[in-house]
Structure 1
Amino acid sequence: MSLSASAAAASQVEITPRAPAHIIKTDAEAIKIAKTIAAEIGKEAALRDQERRLPYQEIDLYSQSGLWGITIPKEYGGAFVSNTTLAEVVSIISEADPSIGQIPQNHLYMIEAIRLDGSEFQKRYFFDLALKGIRFGNAFSEIGTRQVTDVKTRLTPTKDGYLLSGKKFYSSGALLADWVPVVAKDENDNTVVAFVKKGSAGLNVIDDWSSFGQRTTASGTTILENVFVPADFVLPHHLAFDNPTTMGPVAQIIQAAVDTGIARAALKDTLHFVRNYTRPWIDTDLQHGYEDPLTLKDIGNLQIQVHATEALLSRAGTAIDVAQQNQNEDTVAAASIAVAEAKIFSTETALLAGSKLFELAGTRSTLGEYNLDRHWRNARTHTLHDPVRWKYYAIGNYALNNINPPRHPWF
């Protein structure tokens, strides 16, 4: 592997040094480390949300654990864990803090994008960085366009590479990243991803994320003004959707896993509050709120919904594994549909659990000192990533009319 002169120059921009990350070798090790990391991440999650405090130390802990490199193919030094394991790792972290669970979603997305369509140089170069603990953020979506797929950011040819200019929003994790992959249109109007190293001249990442949920994802604005990008650092991302690939399903299962973690956290806090604080209703002669038969009925339903979500998520992971091993129209469509089913359930279960918490726990649970509304706020914010109503439509069309779902990052 050797860098071109322009790529070598672009890669010399300094980033904050960190010790090399641990390299995870197996699925079991990934799950074990995720549980250990989650225990630390969860300690101040509610406080970070209240203070809108970015999780600098926690993200260092997370990326240095090796969990950001678990989908790198084995031939490049990674574990290439199953997609069921990937989803479970993201769910475990998201149960502790869904903002932290969301931050690497675009890093993991780019790992899959490179695996599918990267040059041999890009695979060796960027996979090696990721295994060392280097983090990729994102500058994908724009606001003020007719559709989310409309991209005004342009990559213009110049000597030894390109100049990149545009403005992005929803740049989740970019403030905490070492590289910022940017979706743009090239001179042929093809969708590409340009990898820009943090600190590059003309790159400005702004901490202006003001949403009521997922408050600490650093999902603000990225401005690019004539940023030089070597040709070696440009990925032909349109190929991932021109052909049937697992790009969309991998992107979506990560989203579903975040919401599954939120649902688990909301149910966990509901159980704790009802056991310890909730009083029985006056129309019963019960001594404790946790004995209320109507409360027990709703708790039972929530438990079933969470378990069903987890089962669908695992099933979706298996479908992606099949498609990665034998990628064609049929296997990719089946994976997309399986992930869509998991995404629907994870969305609706997270929202239900976040709302039912207050209904079952009672008025005291709304006090600011508990900050329990963060579960619903996080669920409502994160599930707006893409509308599940369109997933119902696609699933029905697939089941009834044998029409394959669309190919894009939201399916």
Structure 2
Amino acid sequence: MTEHHVINPLSIGVDYPALAARFRPIFERIAEGALEREHTRTLPHEPIQWLKQAGFGAVRVPVEYGGGGASLPQLFELLIELAAADSNVPQALRGHFAFAEDRLNAPPGAGRDLWFKRFVDGDIVGCAWTEIGTVAMGDVVTQVSPNGEQWTLNGEKFYSTGSIFSDWIDVYARRSDTGGDVIAATRTHQPGVVQSDDWDGFGQRTTGSGTTRFTDAVVHAEDVIDFATRFKYQTAFYQLVLLATLAGIGRAALKDVARQVRDRQRIYSHGNAAHVSQDAQVQQVVGEVAALVYAAEASALKAALPAQRAYLARFGGDDAAERDANVAAEIESATAQVVVSELIQRATSQLFNALGASDVRQGKALDRHWRNARTVSSHNPVIYKARIVGDWVINGSEPPFVWQIGNGPKQA
């Protein structure tokens, strides 16, 4: 082992079958309760606790620090398997894995080591970045202010996905003293943090994507992180989690339609066989769904490769190579988003062509696959991603690495 690796060991990947085998029994338990949670809109507190206890939140932490040592493609392959069990859970953990990735990209030192220990001990990090209402583009109302040896955090966020399950919250805020944008990592369980499960979307209903309010919440000085140091492939990373979630939704939908066809007894007089499972046209529909899901999963996993290269390039000492890797991570995740979003929406709608009217009953909740896919696909609008990819292909224009949302200028 070289001195470089001793000082700064990296997560370059491990044996995937052995890694996945640690978590598959938990994924199975999560899948067993997914339909009931959908019907009752029960948040997956217990499933996420199972994952925490098993060390799932530390799969990207280097082995030398007690983590799983997984590469990014391996992480996203695990998230596909988890999403097939319950697609709400990987999206709820999206903020955690992004914050963990940022700490993986941080310079070696005591601060990074402390976060690695927290992850290995089971700590989960939620996110709270988005402010809604009359916030101008680029403005940040949430503020973090120096207060003696600590800082205090004040503001309100929506889309705080996963924070309701977390030990920490990754908050995008503005310093009151300098006006600089920062990440303030604050402990969840304190009087100054109030969370509401008020997300009311028609899909992904149990991701905990509601409102978080901060009133003089305590933040330690070492947990106020300059946003300019944020890992460069972050937007690609966030998109890759959504692609893995979509691929997992496709897997779940394919499993459900295959089971429904196998078990179905009623047939149509104008069908092609004495049993639906032997009907050539129904088989064709299921085969087409399988192909759509296969293509989506392959695209998602291929898009993860340049993100791993960007992670390794962060410590490679070659600025040009790192820039190229970050551009590739952004372009390939965007390219995959354009097709994966369409493929899984098609698959989750087309599955009903293999079934009958009784299969649209609410008890089966087969519509949840399309609702969930449509909801996930609505993040980071795909039309803009297609344009960004086209501009890169035609003109070589570098993609944006940070996205913002807010009110535009008032119309005359």
TM-score of the pair, normalised by structure 1: 0.87
Question: In the TM superposition, what is the alpha-carbon distance from 1:234 to its structure 2 partner?
Answer: 0.9
Alpha-carbon deviation of 1:150?
4.2
Please give the secondary structure, in 2, of the residue aligned with 1:356: helix
Q: Secondary structure at the match of 1:138?
A: strand
> Does 2:394 match 1:400?
yes
Equivalence for 1:121: 110
Q: Identity, % of aligned pairs?
A: 31
Q: CA deviation at 1:385?
A: 1.8
Residue 169 of structure 1: CA displacement?
A: 0.9
For residues 179 and 277 of structure 2, what CA distance do their matches in structure 1 show?
60
CA distance in 2, matches of 1:119, 1:326: 15
Give the match's secondary structure for 2:127: coil
**Do the aligned residues in 2 keep the contact of 1:118 with 1:235 (CA within 8 Å)?**
no
- Give 1:7's aligned residue: none
> In the alignment, residue 386 of structure 1 is paired with which amino acid?
N
Instruction: State the partner residue of 1:276.
Output: 263
Cα shift at 1:220: 1.2
Counterpart contact for 1:323–1:331, Cα < 8 Å? yes
Q: Is the 8 A contact 2:233 2:401 kept in 1?
A: no
Report the secondary structure of 1:204's partner residue: strand
Give the corresponding residue for 2:290: 303
Q: Does 2:178 match 1:191?
A: no
Distance 1:361 1:57, change over 3 A: same
Contact 2:272 2:280 in 1 (8 A): no
1:154 matched to 2:108? The reply is: no
Aligned to 1:391: 385
Cα shift readout 1:73-109 (whole Å, capped 9, x = no counterpart): 3453323311111111111011000111211111000
Q: CA deviation at 1:148?
A: 7.5
Question: Which residue pairs with 2:356 in the alignment?
Answer: 362
Match of 2:215 among 225, 238, 256: 225
1:133 to 2:127 alignment: no
Q: Give yes or no for the alignment of 1:312 onto 2:306.
A: no
Q: Secondary structure at the match of 1:151?
A: coil
For structure 2, which runs of at least 5 residues remain unmatched after alignment?
A: 1-12, 315-321, 405-412
Confirm or deny that 1:209 pairs with 2:183.
Answer: no
Match of 1:77? 66
In 2, Cα distance between the equivalents of 1:261 and 1:149? 33
Instruction: Tell me, in whole angstroms, the C-alpha distance in 1 between the residues paired with 2:73 and 2:221.
Output: 35
For the 8 Å contact 1:257–1:346, the answer to whether it is kept is no
Partner of 1:66: 55
Amino acid at match of 2:44: P
Q: Could you tell me how far 1:347 is from its partner in structure 2?
A: 1.8
Please state how far the C-alpha of 1:57 moved relative to its aligned partner: 1.8
Q: Displacement, 1:171?
A: 1.3
SS in 2 for 1:257: helix
Conserved 8 A contact 1:275-1:289: yes
Number of residue pairs the alignment of both structures matches: 384
Q: 1:326 to 1:359 in 2, by over 3 A?
A: same
Alignment CA distance shift 1:338-1:386 (3 Å): same
Paired residue secondary structure (1:137): strand
Structure 2 residue matching 1:144: 3-state secondary structure: coil
Q: Whole-Å Cα distance in 2 between the matches of residues 346 and 399 of structure 1? A: 19
Residues in 2 aligned to 1:342 and 1:278: alpha-carbon distance in whole angstroms: 39
| Residue matched to 2:87 | 98
Offset from partner CA, 1:35-70 (integer Å, 9 cap, x none) = 221111100100011101122221111111111101
Distance 1:224 1:90, change over 3 A: same
